[in-house]
Amino acid sequence: MKKKFGADSKSVLQAKFDAQKIAFGPVMFQAAKALRDLGILELLRKKGNDGIGIGIEAIAKELNLSVYGVKVLLEAGISLEVVILKDKKFILTKTGYFIISDELTRVNMDFVNDVNYQGMFHLQDAIKTGKPRGLQVFGEWETIYEALANAELPEKVLESWFRFDHFYSDIAFPQVLPLIFKNGSDRILDIGGNTGKFAIKCAEFSKKVKVTILDLPGNLKVAKKNAEEKGFADRISGIPCNLLDPSVAFPKNYKIIWMSQFLDCFSQQEISHLLKRAYNAMNTDSELYILEPYWNNQRFEASTYSLHATSLYFTCMANGHSQMYHTDDMKKLLEKTKLYVDQEYTDIGVGHTLYRCKKQSERKASKALAAHKN
């Protein structure tokens, strides 16, 4: 009897082809990026969109590149499925179109190239040590957050990091504002509020709302400046702090505590501590909102794929021990902190889930009250 290998049902030929895609992945990534950045794909979109396409010489002449250079890139492009070759002319495919025109793809590609690409060489070391060893390509810091908050990373790295971070949260914010403010609360504590983007959205959403941001000092300086420029200096304030310092208590008396794309920056143990401190700051009627993209809660395979890859950014570049979590991970940590998910909203933004969490003791109290009334 033939021995079966591999747990999946993929054909052997396909499996071997897929293994080569992995083997040559970084080379082909750079080829796609060169086709994008040198303007070759854009030229095909503008001038080769007639079903006939453009030949190598014409492309080389138009873009002032060598025939050899255009040839090797476009031939790689055939295998990348960003172009097809028909009668010696090249035509853009749908994937090629996404590479140049889709904002999500551009943001992800730039994040991979500018923030991760060089550092990923150190991934195995990061796994073995639990430290973000890839960060050494830019300098010496414990975590990327210190470098980001003080704008110490190269300009292009900063730009691509912020565009990646803001792209996902910016799409989600307009959807969540009516949900979190629907009970008329007007004071919100934004934990890990970064440069104040969400705080400004809150202030624009309602004239009554006042926001307090907790974040590292460097980010808060930028947040303060941004809030002032928008005329919200009286409604957006901040407390600079290192949230990993257990002696820093969260301020009390906020009806809403907000954590967006924040807990994924920490290990499970750190999340437990952060949740515990949020719990201690919560009143009986406080609501803790957690907005996260969970890898198992995605409608599209492309999103799950991107989130699995993003986890490795946390491993190698960010801090060495956090990740994009599974909903089970987060629910277990909430349970441990005596919090529970009272309301869950899925399909927010690109693939976020919003949890509204409350104290377990409140659920017990309201159940007991209901039982008493009956």
Ligand X SMILES: C[S@@+](CC[C@H](N)C(=O)[O-])C[C@H]1O[C@@H](n2cnc3c(N)ncnc32)[C@H](O)[C@@H]1O
Site string for ligand X, 234-253 (x = CB under 6 A): --------xxx---------
Two tokens, residue 186:
């007007």
CB of 317 to ligand X, least distance (A): 12
CB within 8 Å of 303: residues ≥ 6 apart? 293, 350, 351
Phi, psi torsion values for 323, nearest 5 degrees: -170, 175
DSSP code of 322? Answer: -
Q: Which of residues 47-106 bind ligand X (CB under 6 A)?
A: none
Complex with ligand X: residue 83 or 324, whichever CB lies closer: 324
212 binds ligand X (CB under 6 A): no
Q: Which of residues 132-161 bind ligand X (CB under 6 A)?
A: 145, 149
265 binds ligand X (CB under 6 A): yes
| Strand residue runs (E) in the chain | 83-86, 89-92, 187-191, 210-215, 236-240, 256-260, 287-292, 339-348, 352-359
Dist. CA 164–CA 162, nearest whole Å: 5
313 binds ligand X (CB under 6 A): no
Stretch in the footprint of ligand X (CB under 6 A) among 45-53, 86-94, 257-265, 303-311:
257-265
Site string for ligand X, 331-350 (x = CB under 6 A): --------------------
C-alpha distances out from residue 103 to 26, 97, 108, 116, 159, Å: 21, 11, 9, 19, 15
Complex with ligand X: residue 26 or 174, whichever CB lies closer: 174
Q: Which residues pair with 213 in a beta bridge?
A: 190, 238
* Burial class for 311, CB neighbours closer than 10 Å (0-12, 13-18, 19+): middle
Complete DSSP assignment for 72-123: HHHHHHHHHTSEEEETTEEEE-HHHHHHHH-HHHHHHHHIIIIIITTGGGGH
Q: Considering only residues 93, 108, 116, 169, which one is a binding residue for ligand X as defined by CB under 6 A?
A: 169
Q: Considering only residues 59, 83, 120, 216, which one is a binding residue for ligand X as defined by CB under 6 A?
A: 216
What Rg do the C-alpha atoms of the chain give, in angstroms?
24
Q: Considering only residues 105, 160, 261, 286, which one is a binding residue for ligand X as defined by CB under 6 A?
A: 261
CA 145: distance to chain centroid? 14
What is the number of the residue whose Cβ is closest to ligand X? 192
Q: Which of residues 172-201 bind ligand X (CB under 6 A)?
A: 192-194, 198
CB of 112 to ligand X, least distance (A): 16
Complex with ligand X: residue 90 or 198, whichever CB lies closer: 198
Complex with ligand X: residue 44 or 281, whichever CB lies closer: 281
Complex with ligand X: residue 44 or 256, whichever CB lies closer: 256
Q: In 3-state terms, the chain is what percent helix, strand and coil (to 5)?
A: 55, 15, 30
Instruction: Name the site residues for ligand X (rule: CB under 6 A).
Output: 145, 149, 165, 169, 192-194, 198, 215-216, 219, 242-244, 260-262, 265
